[in-house]
Amino acid sequence: MLAVVDEQMNEKKEWEPKVLAFCCNWCSYAGADAAGLERRQTPPTIRVIRVMCSGRIDPAFVLMGFLEGADAVLITGCHIGDCHYVDANYKTRNRFEFLKEFVDELGLEPERLRLEWISASEGAIFADMVKEVTENVKKVGPSPFRKSWKK
């Protein structure tokens, strides 16, 4: 019986990446919703965190995501000029420049971090992006910050 329990609990599953996505309330979260309404297939790898604005995404949140073991982090928001809070996504874009350099210097693959502007009607783009990121991350393998890597 113990062997059966062990077998049930330790299924040898293929590794699936975990993709953390920050979506802004007004555009990209609605975009993700649209992808669902349009019945587009999205890989189940994505974990969405809704924030009011992409300008709320502190680079520290993204880095924490990586340290917690995310294989990729997506930052999404309204298109430049469409921000609900006038100019906040300019700040996002600026911070992303820093994050990109930081992640590259630290030694994580650039594929693991992505910034994308997605409007409420762009469900197709959202679905495609998740697919693409998942494929790319599968190629580069699990994040070196995965829990198993710890002491």
Contact positions vs another protein (CB under 8 A): 58-60, 63-64, 67-68, 80-81, 86-87, 90-91, 93-95, 97-99, 101-102, 105-109, 144-145, 149-150
Query: Which one, 44 or 144, has the nearer CB to another protein?
Result: 144
In angstroms, the CA 22 to CA 65 distance is 10
Please report, as a single letter, which amino acid is at residue 148.
Answer: S
In angstroms, the CA 139 to CA 77 distance is 26
Query: Which one, 85 or 128, has the nearer CB to another protein?
Result: 85
Query: Which one, 99 or 129, has the nearer CB to another protein?
Result: 99
Of the candidates 56, 67, 55, the residue with the CA atom closest to the CA atom of residue 20? 67
To the nearest whole angstrom, how small is the minimum distance from the Cβ of residue 2 to another protein?
31
CA distances from 68 to 56, 89, 90, 98, 133 (A): 20, 25, 27, 20, 19
Query: Which one, 40 or 93, has the nearer CB to another protein?
Result: 93
Tokens 């890989």 belong to 43
In a 13 Å sphere around the CA of 101, the CA atoms on its Cβ side amount to 5
To the nearest whole angstrom, how small is the minimum distance from the Cβ of residue 101 to another protein?
5
To the nearest whole angstrom, how small is the minimum distance from the Cβ of residue 11 to another protein?
27
To the nearest whole angstrom, how small is the minimum distance from the Cβ of residue 8 to another protein?
29
